[in-house]
Amino acid sequence: MSQDLPLHKNARINPTEIGLNTSQTPEISIIVPAYGKADLTLRCLASLYLAAPDVPYEVIVVEDASGEPDADRVGLVPGVRFINNEQNLGFLRSCNAAAKMARGQYLLLLNNDTQVLPDTVEALRRTFDSHPQAGLVGSKLVYPDGRLQEAGGIVWSDGSARNHGRFDNRLAPEYNYLRETDYISGASIMVDAKLWRQLGGFDEQFCPAYYEDTDLAMQVRQAGRQVIYQPASTTIHFEGISNGTDTGSGIKRFQDINAVKFFEKWREVLQRDHYPNTDASIFPASDRARHRPIVLVTNDMVVQPDVDAGSRAIAQSMEALLAMGCIVKFWPENPFEFNQYAEDLREQGIEVIAGLRRPRFKDWIAAHGCHIDHAILHRPAQTAVFLPLVRQYAPQAQVIYYGHDLHYLRMQAQARLHGDAKTEASAAKFHDIESKLWKDVDIAVYFSQEEVDTVRAQCPGADARAVQAYCFDEVVIPRSATQSNQIIFVAGFGHPPNVDAAIWLAKNIMPKVWVQEPHVKLCLVGSKPTVEVQALASHQVEVTGWVSEEKLSELYAASRVAVVPLRFGAGVKHKVVEAMSSGVPLVTTSVGAQGLPGLENASAVADDENILAHHIVTLLRSDEAWMSLVERAAAYIHGNFSRSSLQHQMLGLFHVQDD
């Protein structure tokens, strides 16, 4: 688990060979305070050269009158603004003085006893774009031997501080998601320059050093901005080289002196918003959870929102939880991280407890269950496994089961359509699982009132509620009808209802369309096309497989009609509402319209293949009918699938409501 250093800790660097690509119009001003030890500073600058930040930056090095004979060597580095203090100002005042000279929109304070890794600078900068309330963002700090030095810091109610994760595994899940934190040690922190000046920089009562970075974090929060730990930014810190580790002598003695000043300054805030210094408090304190609920979310696997509709619903519900101020812990039963999907969630601020280094669920919930306020459990089979352990180790947690759809009803419909006794037996098994869950959880959630009514009819004592399945930030309304002969069906073909629909569409419905419109092309789009679906490909039918979000948008924009010809299924179908939000008129069945009251006014709905073909041909030929349906569909999506309405409905789940 060792961490490779960009440069050996004893490497000798020729300052004239460090080709920093600095800018006269920087976006970021990198400030490196130094007190002698030129070789150390040169290695820091050389690591910047090797990391090659892909953003305009300048570098300001402040040599604080150390008197070392070769300290000026750093000034030979091309592109560096080298400031040699005439008299010793101390670390804090040197940083404040350099910040006044900075030209960037952001200030990166970087200790000279650090080495940055690739993407260290860019990851900090990106966080200000993805989290507009960010005021201060800091790196993960790692020891040269690869052990974790700090994943953000905890400030206790008595004013003492803790480097979260010190000496632990830097790759463990709990240290690798973006989150708000109490403070970040000033070895590698980026601050909004305008906010820095508004606050007056480091408070000089903490001269010459120590607690100034912790105090700055408190000031940033007091100004209404966030302090964020960004694990995608990793900095190696040779801790103790600059000032040693003995708090009884030298500059290091100010660590204890300034601790007293810090506590007196922030006493009221510390006692109101921070946890007492106990091992039991580390878990919630690391997330600043004093006034925020911690929500456990479980699923069968890491969500892949661009692959299946269930994943999209879960991902959007977790986004809503974050927007509501919740702290989200996501546990997929399958520990595989699915490449970038887990990282995307972590970058949003969700702890994804996956990968080979995670503990057993029983051990994790036993250790942390007492801090869980709400548990949202997805999928019936997985919920049946997780629920007993949640009840045992998190007895105070409200348990919410997300059914997505009534699995047993979907399987019953499939069995009856195909005369499949095996599927009929599976449906009965799932009915037993689902009906037991309705009784054992606090709330059962479905995506339509129709399903909620079914649950309540079978289990009158169950608290079942309907919650919006999806949300759309943008609804496309073309100015005129798309001139195209392409018809599109988008679905994940790892799901039996979608396979059946594709075959029925290509073999039964489209031949009736082709008789009247022979040049029409059918495009079957989606992940995991089965052998049966792939066999539908011809000069008139394209089977694309998985496509990116960008490509999917292009395909919708190039299509004249979207068709969702489901013959069995349950619940609200993402492919139905997605098509309507994409500016394409929709033709679907009564199964496709399930759980969507009034959809018949915003799309063409029929179950007979002749009538479905007629609707498709009408939309191919009539621009007036096309525009009318697109406009009504857009109004339907606006009224029923906004992000704010999803948040409001989920917030309602967290409160007891009388029916």
- Grouping H, G, I as helix, E, B as strand and the rest as coil, residue 81 is strand
Structural domain harbouring 518: 486-641
In a domain, 654, yes or no: no
Q: What is the mean pLDDT of the chain?
A: 93
What is the structure's pLDDT at 659? 37
Position 432 pLDDT exceeds 80: yes
Burial state string for 363-380 with b = 16 or more CB within 10 A and e = fewer than 16: ebbeebbebbbbbbbbbb
- For residue 180, pLDDT beyond 90: yes
pLDDT at 249: 46
For the chain, what is the domain count?
3
Q: Is 33 helix (H, G, I), strand (E, B) or coil?
A: strand
The band of 571, judged by pLDDT with boundaries at 50, 70 and 90, is confident
**How far is the CA of 359 from the CAs of 68, 362, 511, 590, 652, in angstroms?**
50, 8, 55, 45, 32
107: nearest Cα among 40, 4, 191, 166: 191
Same domain, 318 and 459: yes
Please give the structure tokens belonging to residue 150: 């700090």
List, for residues 339-362, the tens digit of each pLDDT value: 899 999 999 999 999 998 899 999
The predicted model scores a pTM of: 0.86
- Tell me the pLDDT band of 658, cut-offs 50, 70 and 90: very low
Q: Taking residues 55-74, what's their average pLDDT?
A: 94
Listed residues 260, 285, 310: the one ending a domain? 285
pLDDT tens sequence across 435-478: 999 999 999 999 988 899 999 999 999 999 999 988 888 888 88
Q: Distance between CA atoms of 333 and 382, rounded to whole angstroms?
A: 7
How many Cα atoms are found within 13 Å in the side-chain-facing hemisphere of 253?
3
Angle between helix 361-368 and 380-393 (nearest 10)? 40
CATH classification of the domain holding 536: 3.40.50.2000
Of 285, 315, 333, the one marking the end of a domain is: 285
Does residue 3 fall inside a structural domain?
A: no
pLDDT in tens, 381-401: 999 999 999 999 999 999 999
Q: Domain check: are 160 and 207 in the same one?
A: yes
Domain check: are 97 and 51 in the same one?
yes
Question: Is the pLDDT score of 253 beyond 80?
Answer: no
Q: What is the CA radius of gyration of the chain?
A: 29
Task: Give per-residue pLDDT as tens, 264-317.
Answer: 999 999 999 999 999 999 999 999 999 999 999 999 999 999 888 889 999 999
| pLDDT number for residue 308 | 84
320 and 420 together in one domain: yes
| 58 within a domain of the structure (yes/no) | yes
User: Final residue of a domain: which of 413, 431, 466?
Assistant: 466
Q: Is residue 6 part of a domain?
A: no
Residue 410: which residues within 8 A CB-CB, separation 6 or more? 497, 568, 569, 570, 571
Identify whether 1 is part of a domain.
no
Confidence of residue 117 (pLDDT cuts 50, 70, 90): very high
Most confident residue range from 231-245, 378-392, 629-643: 378-392
pLDDT(657) > 70: no
What's the pLDDT score for residue 646?
92
With respect to residue 197, please indicate whether it lies within any of the assigned structural domains: yes
Determine the Cα angle at 367 with ends 369 and 228, to 5°.
Answer: 80
Helix (H) or strand (E) holding 124: helix 120-130
User: Is the same domain home to 111 and 231?
Assistant: yes
Distance in angstroms (rounded) separating the CA atoms of residues 255 and 189: 19
Residue 88 to residue 100: CA distance in whole angstroms: 17
Cα separations (Å) of 73 from 16, 458, 525?
A: 9, 81, 61
Phi-psi map region of 19: left, alpha, beta (phi>0 left; psi -120 to 50 alpha): beta
Is there a single domain that holds both residue 539 and residue 578? Answer: yes
**Within a domain: 652:** no
The answer on 337 and 249 residing in a single domain is: no
Lowest mean pLDDT among 238-252, 360-374, 515-529, 555-569: 238-252
Question: Which of 253 and 550 is assigned the larger pLDDT?
Answer: 550
Indicate the SS3 state at residue 144. coil
